[in-house]
Structure 1
Amino acid sequence: MYKTKGTHNYYIYILTNKNKTVLYIGVTNSLKERLYWHQNPDPVTRHFTHKYSCCHLIYYEDFKDIDEAIKREKQLKGWRREKKEILINEFNPEWKFLNNEI
């Protein structure tokens, strides 16, 4: 069944590694499935998140429009780390891993 534009849920998200030293920003239409993929990567394909063990969700935003989600993803990717940390701190001050809350 086809959903009309604006009826999906899209997410931008930030992952980190166990030591919280690396940040990865992505966009998806299924946050739960994407988290599974990051936690269970294909061992043959070496993606950034696999290479740096980024599989811990610490931030996300939801959108109804994919274009808006992509625009926000690009915006966040252009930010310096300090600005990203401020955003994460406002949303998740303890930098708790949120994977099990999704």
Structure 2
Amino acid sequence: MKGYMYILLCSDGSYYTGSTNDLERRLAQHQNGEGANHTKKRLPVSLLYYEEYQRIDEAFYREKQVQG
């Protein structure tokens, strides 16, 4: 299953990094206030960057690298 690591730009200028197997669905969740606590308080958000991986665990690993 494909995976994506993504970076969002929040309305207050902060960033959010996440991973998912369905990028479009996850972005819609963030925009609707159904995403992480960080993003729901800082709407709207915009997709700044993403990387695609063959497996979701690779995307999750990359997310942790970027966050660290």
TM-score range, shorter chain: 0.7 to 0.9
In the alignment, what sits opposite 2:5? 12
Task: Give how far 1:65 is off.
Answer: 1.6
The residue that corresponds to 1:96 in the other structure is: none
The equivalent residue for 2:43 is 53
List aligned pairs for 1:1-102, cutoff 5 A.
8-18=1-11, 21-42=13-34, 47-53=37-43, 55-78=45-68
Task: Name the Cα RMSD after superposition.
Answer: 2.0
Render the CA deviation track for 1:42-101: whole Å, top value 9, x for unaligned.
Answer: 4xx9711111225210100000122211110000001xxxxxxxxxxxxxxxxxxxxxxx
Q: Give the number of aligned pairs.
A: 68
* Distance across 1 between alignment mates of 2:8 and 2:43: 9
What is the distance in 2 between the residues matched to 1:69 and 1:41? 23
Moved over 3 A (4+): none
SS of 2:18 mapped into structure 1: strand
SS of aligned partner of 1:53: coil
What stretches of structure 1 of length at least 5 have no aligned partner?
Answer: 1-7, 79-102
For CA contacts below 8 A with separation 6 or more, give which structure has more relative contact order: 2
Q: Which has the larger radius of gyration?
A: 1
Summarize the Cα distance change of 1:56–1:46 in structure 2 as closer, same or farther, 3 Å threshold.
Answer: closer
